[in-house]
Chain A
Amino acid sequence: MSAQVQILFKNSTKKNSHTLKVHKEGGGYKQVEKAFGLSTEDIIDEVKRSGIRGRGGAGFPAGLKWSFIPKDNSRDKYLVCNADEGEPGTCKDRDIIRYVPHQLIEGMIIAAYAVGAERGYIYIRGEFVREAEILQKAIDEAYKEGYLGENILDKGIRFDLAIHRGAGAYVCGEETGLLESLEGKKGQPRVKPPFPANIGLWGGPTVINNVETLAAVPAIIEKGGEWYGKLGVEKSSGTKLFSISGHVNKPGNYEVELGIPMKTLIEEYAGGVRGGWDNLKGIIPGGASSAILPKEVCETVTMDYDAIAKAGSMLGSGAVVVIDKSVCIVKAVERLSRFYRHESCGQCTPCREGTGWMSQIMTRIEAGGGVEGDIELLGSICGNISGKTICALGDAAVGPIAGSIKAFREEYLYHVEHGRCMVG
């Protein structure tokens, strides 16, 4: 196992790493000072140069996102951190908040300065009770030390930061659903355009970034975008946290450079597949919404945005779910389909009706009531949802079903024909 560059988790193993004191001892908050010495354009350029892509799932270049904030808009601008980590299998943001909350706060101060936001919110999922407490303590410490507030480091720069706890809706992790929820409304994604960069929170220009993205910003400022850009592979630069779960011997969060072979990640870092590599059935590479990759693909694929996309799935949030041969794919996907039915906000027709319909069909097949044509019907429904919804939840619901039908069609056929699982 080769030693990996640690950016996000650099200090996470130290005792009391969540305190301001330990953070500062590790060089924390120095980058705020450095950033305030730079022009906002320079910071955005540096982040652009780093090539860092949004770590929430969509992988949109963060620097480009920041540069969309209009300079001439007189309305208040906002920076929102998306800590509504809801993608099944993902638990990376939780560890950042738990162990290095000041790294996130530092990143947010720099980002807010770069885009001209004087107010920031961290929208954290409701279930993260302890994490919200830790984060609040960290924010309080930062206020006390003058890193947050009306006059940061006596530079006349203002940034106020507040936590907002969600109420348990997956869809509030979608950035515009999050904004609606933050405004006190029902969490339903907005129609885009207009994009949040123009009309976001309370109608003002808004940048929304994932926890992991923002936590990487101090390092980019410290060592430069070029340095960061050299990590990883082309178009997938930097390090990434992978939350590895399922049938592995050492599940957990691992920070590695993007582009690492999937097999290496599982075998060397996560302690290998339960019962050995050959016991592997497939891997969901980027959270529940990404299509499952069968073992043959897992042998060679590398963990970067483009390679995974080429293999027919997506890197998403970096939640790697390892599935061994004891699992009935139909049953696993049936469970996921119920999740998406439950979490669809119900706003737009294809997702509202489609997720419910697919879930009912999956349940019927799983219960032994499948009929001929069901698999084709599922495929057709997937096609009618995909790309026709307001937000990406529709596509996310399609991902596991379409992906598993493609990779494990025989298991579906067996279920329909025999009325029971192929395994177990």
Chain B
Amino acid sequence: MPTLIIDGKEISVKPGATIMEAAKQLGVYIPHFCYHPKLSVSGNCRMCLVEVEKMPRPVISCAMPVNDGMVVKTNSEMVTEARKGVMEFLLINHPLDCPVCDQGGECSLQDLAMKYGPDRSRYREEKRQFPNYDLGPLIETEMNRCIQCTRCIRFSTEVAGVEELGAVYRGDYMKVGPYVEKLTLSSEMAGNVAESCPVGALNLKPFHFEARGWELQQADGVCGHCSVGCQTSNEYLDDSIKRVSSRSCDEINLTWLCNKGRFSYDGLEKNRLEKPAIKGETGEISWQMALDQAAELIKSVKPDQVAGLADPSGRGAEELYAFQDFLRNAVGTPHVDHRIRLKDFSGDEVKLTRADLLMNTSLADMASADAILLIGSDSRFETPLLNLRLRQASLQGAKVFSLSPRLLNANLEGMQQIVLRPGSELAYLQSIVAAQGSGKGKGEAATIASALKKAKRPLIILGDYANYHPAAESIRRLAVEIAKKADALSSDWNGFNRIVSRGNAAAAQDLGVVPHRGPGHKGLESKGKNARKILKGAAEGTIKVLFLLGVDPLLDCTDSHLAKQAMEKAKIIYIGTHHSPVCKQADVVLAGLAPGEKQSTFTNCEGRVQRAEKAVNGPVESKEDWRILRALSDRFAKPLSYNTIESLHDAIAKADHRYDLSELYGDELGPACDHAPVTTGLKVSGSSKEMKGMTLIVESSFYHDEPQVRNSTTLALLDEGCSIRINPKDAASQKIEAGNTVRLISGEKKIELIAKIDEKVPEGVVFGQFGYVESPVQDLYDWEGEFPQISMVKL
């Protein structure tokens, strides 16, 4: 380990470290603009110049590797003079508009100008002017403030993998901006360019003129919009979140956030359920009345005629635990589930462990993988910050293969995409297993098998398409088989990862929001109905009261046709945060709080438990969901046992020790993938046949997949809207053009939608999206069957 002296203090660092890194380790601050710990070194700002003994000129500490015996001075006269010079150069063309700049108060240039800047300018010439750009709804530009540090360019190119920003022209005319004049930044992580901008050139448009940095208060948050669980900082003023920034976390999100995590906060203030409501009652409804009514509905039927469905996304572990606790123990029904999109429940029949259901490779380790097999995973949009690790691996030469029903809009280097016809997945996976066994075979399956075999750190990833496939459990078992054969289930490297993208789904699994397991993965004697059977029961009349925690079955469950029948027949009690179609049908609506408005606990796809703090108050009348459940339980013989959030946390911790955060980890981050080995040797019993004819697949919509996101004005501007995507040839054969309205027919069900032509969609398959009130394409689904066969008519 090289040892050097910085400002008289000795330090040993790892070989190859730079002076900047060594200084950081020592706690010595070296001023900088272009240096960013998570981006490549560019060395252009020249602010981090330091003096190194025996070197004639000052050197940039961000790029200079440390040598043994180096003597570095970060504050000598030579250094101060050099920095003053650089500072003056940066300021000559920089506008003096700090008072109206969003970055004011948190600007590197402003801060360092206090120390190194001259108090008046020697610059007598005209200041340079750059045009501003319209980069879409997320980023506001004021390019005269740009100091050409190229952080935004490096972020876009290296991290996000989209070459949209660059520096054009030379010298002092060099301007940073998009290569094409008018461009909406397409990256799902575009907001990071503003956060990494050291000055006020790229700003967050939704935050523009909303507040000054120093007025904001911060609360630690955890993003629950997908299952990665990025660490956020919710910054608020006057009881309203004004901005969401990332917290640096090397284990999870490094220092980035995706657009959904960063910009969905305005959805908290739109379209909210503000007070409880009872169907048919128009007067003032008190909580007392609403809860009485809910209790009465439940008590009016037999306990096992009551069933509960929860959507883990946007829910904390607190309410998920309390929900199943209330249903199982206060009401006495075993019917509770959260898997509203799952089609294949056959995994419930064997005892699957946490390792079978979640990830086994930590996010940080994923970056070091050398072969990646994505099975039905659109990782870039399902779990953006996880995809970033895969991108890191791919940039370091990992071989990447993807099996999916359409070509993905991916950003993984050298990814080989294999498009599989719906229903043919099992056969294909079996051919990989066969090639692994024989070591022979031709074609892509053999290539995949041999790449996995050669790899030392192979990753097998199951994404949402695989998880929600009609033969999901068989696919999962085959994936385990492939992982085992690839030697990816060893004690030093476990590469099997089932990634459910729905936020906090892991907590729902851990805390028993499933019909066959109780909290803490304990087996149950009396198993309840799963999500499909619950809705089917409701439609048939065997389930008479449906208790919904944040889930709108009309929008979010696999088969909205079945959901409609269920809603019409059963009595509905709904706890939620936003107005949604189900509210109109619900007999009792109870207004809950969203994350950020309460303390909530999230478990990410690695199985890592994190707690988010409360930032702001929700609507005055709304209550924390678990408190609603607690109050409701008072109307039953066995009320819930906890009256404070602390005692609730204790109860959760007792049920599953991983949730004992304060006891186990204090302020530290809990461990990832802290669970038993993957179950191997399960027989692949399911079958699935390749679909013939036109087939429909329904996916999640990145900017429209849960209530808060749906109600975000910012994200609505990025959402492509309700439509179906058709292959150009299929469209041509039906004379369909982009923008036409098309009727999709499946049996007796039909639905009308706007058509989009997409070359990435294969022939014979049509893609729709969940979550749109206007025309729920999932109406055409049959929850029990395979993929729906459809016909298409242009209107």
Chain A 345-385 per-residue mask, 1 if CB under 8 angstroms from chain B, else 0: 11111101111110011001000000100000100100111
Distance A344 CA – B42 CA, assembled complex (angstroms): 17
Shortest CB–CB separation between residue A87 and chain B, in angstroms?
Answer: 17
> Which among B47, B124, B147 has the greatest number of chain A C-beta atoms within 10 A?
B124
| Residue B45 CB within 8 A of the other chain | yes
| Residue B39 CB within 8 A of the other chain | no
Q: Could you say which interface size class chain B belongs to?
A: 35 or more
B147 touches A349 (CB 8 A): yes
Chain B residues 80 to 97 lying within 8 A of chain A, measured CB to CB, are 82, 85-86, 88-90, 92-93
A346 touches B167 (CB 8 A): yes
**B43 cross-chain contacts in A, Cβ below 8 A:** 191, 348, 390
Shortest CB–CB separation between residue B273 and chain A, in angstroms?
Answer: 53
Chain B residues 93 to 134 lying within 8 A of chain A, measured CB to CB, are 93, 122-126, 128
**A345 cross-chain contacts in B, Cβ below 8 A:** 170-171, 174
A-B interface pairs (CB < 8 A), number: 102
**A355 cross-chain contacts in B, Cβ below 8 A:** 171-172
| Residue B148 CB within 8 A of the other chain | yes
Given the known inter-chain contacts A343-B170, A352-B171, please indicate yes or no for A357 contacting B123, CB distance below 8 A: yes
Across the interface, A352 reaches (CB within 8 A) one of B56, B58, B63, B172, namely: B172
Q: Which residue of B lies closest to A341 (CB)?
A: B171
Q: Which residue of A lies closest to B65 (CB)?
A: A193
| Residue B41 CB within 8 A of the other chain | yes
Distance A75 CA – B142 CA, assembled complex (angstroms): 44
A350 touches B46 (CB 8 A): yes
**B90 cross-chain contacts in A, Cβ below 8 A:** 349, 353
Given the known inter-chain contacts A191-B60, A348-B44, A353-B172, please indicate yes or no for A383 contacting B125, CB distance below 8 A: no
B174 touches A346 (CB 8 A): yes
Across the interface, A350 reaches (CB within 8 A) one of B86, B123, B124, namely: B86
B125 touches A360 (CB 8 A): yes
**B45 cross-chain contacts in A, Cβ below 8 A:** 348-349
Given the known inter-chain contacts A353-B93, A388-B46, please indicate yes or no for A342 contacting B64, CB distance below 8 A: no
B172 touches A346 (CB 8 A): yes
Given the known inter-chain contacts A364-B125, A388-B49, please indicate yes or no for A346 contacting B169, CB distance below 8 A: yes
**B65 cross-chain contacts in A, Cβ below 8 A:** 193
| Residue B584 CB within 8 A of the other chain | no
| Residue A387 CB within 8 A of the other chain | yes
Shortest CB–CB separation between residue A146 and chain B, in angstroms?
Answer: 37
**B166 cross-chain contacts in A, Cβ below 8 A:** 186
Chain B 49-61 per-residue mask, 1 if CB under 8 angstroms from chain A, else 0: 1000000111010
A384 touches B172 (CB 8 A): no
B167 touches A388 (CB 8 A): no
Distance A369 CA – B146 CA, assembled complex (angstroms): 29
| Residue A19 CB within 8 A of the other chain | no
Chain A residues 365 to 424 lying within 8 A of chain B, measured CB to CB, are 371, 377, 380, 383-385, 387-390
| Residue A96 CB within 8 A of the other chain | no
Given the known inter-chain contacts A186-B167, A352-B172, A390-B44, please indicate yes or no for A346 contacting B148, CB distance below 8 A: yes
Distance A171 CA – B174 CA, assembled complex (angstroms): 14
A349 touches B44 (CB 8 A): yes
**A389 cross-chain contacts in B, Cβ below 8 A:** 46
Distance A385 CA – B46 CA, assembled complex (angstroms): 10
A169 touches B57 (CB 8 A): no
Distance A342 CA – B170 CA, assembled complex (angstroms): 7
**A384 cross-chain contacts in B, Cβ below 8 A:** 82, 85-86, 88-89
Distance A377 CA – B118 CA, assembled complex (angstroms): 14
**B122 cross-chain contacts in A, Cβ below 8 A:** 377, 380
**B41 cross-chain contacts in A, Cβ below 8 A:** 191
Q: Could you say which interface size class chain A belongs to?
A: 20 to 34
**A348 cross-chain contacts in B, Cβ below 8 A:** 43-46
B interface: dominant SS: loop
B167 touches A383 (CB 8 A): no
> Which among B46, B64, B123, B128 has the greatest number of chain A C-beta atoms within 10 A?
B46
**A371 cross-chain contacts in B, Cβ below 8 A:** 124
Given the known inter-chain contacts A191-B60, A353-B92, please indicate yes or no for A361 contacting B46, CB distance below 8 A: no
A344 touches B57 (CB 8 A): no
Given the known inter-chain contacts A191-B42, A387-B57, please indicate yes or no for A349 contacting B170, CB distance below 8 A: no
Distance A343 CA – B42 CA, assembled complex (angstroms): 20
B89 touches A347 (CB 8 A): no
Distance A394 CA – B407 CA, assembled complex (angstroms): 48
> Which among A171, A353, A388 has the greatest number of chain B C-beta atoms within 10 A?
A353
Distance A353 CA – B88 CA, assembled complex (angstroms): 9
Shortest CB–CB separation between residue B542 and chain A, in angstroms?
Answer: 67
**B29 cross-chain contacts in A, Cβ below 8 A:** none
Shortest CB–CB separation between residue A416 and chain B, in angstroms?
Answer: 13
Distance A320 CA – B249 CA, assembled complex (angstroms): 58
**A350 cross-chain contacts in B, Cβ below 8 A:** 46, 85-86, 89
**A354 cross-chain contacts in B, Cβ below 8 A:** 89
B125 touches A346 (CB 8 A): no
Q: Which residue of A lies closest to B171 (CB)?
A: A344
Q: Which residue of B lies closest to A190 (CB)?
A: B43
Shortest CB–CB separation between residue B144 and chain A, in angstroms?
Answer: 14
Distance A342 CA – B147 CA, assembled complex (angstroms): 18
A342 touches B125 (CB 8 A): no
Distance A342 CA – B89 CA, assembled complex (angstroms): 17
A388 touches B82 (CB 8 A): yes
Given the known inter-chain contacts A191-B43, A191-B63, please indicate yes or no for A346 contacting B171, CB distance below 8 A: yes
Given the known inter-chain contacts A193-B65, A364-B125, please indicate yes or no for A352 contacting B92, CB distance below 8 A: no
**A360 cross-chain contacts in B, Cβ below 8 A:** 125-126
Shortest CB–CB separation between residue B93 and chain A, in angstroms?
Answer: 7
| Residue B173 CB within 8 A of the other chain | yes
**A171 cross-chain contacts in B, Cβ below 8 A:** 170
Distance A346 CA – B166 CA, assembled complex (angstroms): 13
A344 touches B89 (CB 8 A): no
Distance A343 CA – B85 CA, assembled complex (angstroms): 21
Distance A388 CA – B83 CA, assembled complex (angstroms): 10
Q: Which residue of B lies closest to A191 (CB)?
A: B43
Distance A347 CA – B176 CA, assembled complex (angstroms): 11
B148 touches A352 (CB 8 A): yes
**B170 cross-chain contacts in A, Cβ below 8 A:** 169, 171, 342-346
**B82 cross-chain contacts in A, Cβ below 8 A:** 384, 388
Distance A204 CA – B607 CA, assembled complex (angstroms): 42
Distance A357 CA – B47 CA, assembled complex (angstroms): 19
Distance A193 CA – B44 CA, assembled complex (angstroms): 14
> Which among B60, B86, B126 has the greatest number of chain A C-beta atoms within 10 A?
B86
Given the known inter-chain contacts A193-B65, A346-B171, please indicate yes or no for A353 contacting B125, CB distance below 8 A: no
**B174 cross-chain contacts in A, Cβ below 8 A:** 345-347, 352
**B85 cross-chain contacts in A, Cβ below 8 A:** 350, 383-385, 388
For the A-B complex with A346-B172, A347-B167, A350-B46 known, give 4 more contacts whose Cβ atoms are closer than 8 Å: A186-B166, A341-B171, A344-B170, A355-B172
Q: 30 interchain pairs (CB within 8 A)?
A: A171-B170, A186-B166, A186-B167, A193-B63, A193-B65, A341-B171, A341-B172, A344-B170, A344-B171, A346-B170, A346-B172, A346-B174, A347-B167, A348-B43, A348-B46, A349-B86, A349-B90, A350-B46, A352-B172, A353-B93, A355-B172, A357-B89, A361-B125, A364-B125, A384-B82, A385-B85, A388-B49, A388-B58, A388-B82, A389-B46
Pairs of residues from A and B, 4 with the lowest C-beta to C-beta distance, nearest first: A346-B174, A384-B85, A356-B172, A353-B89
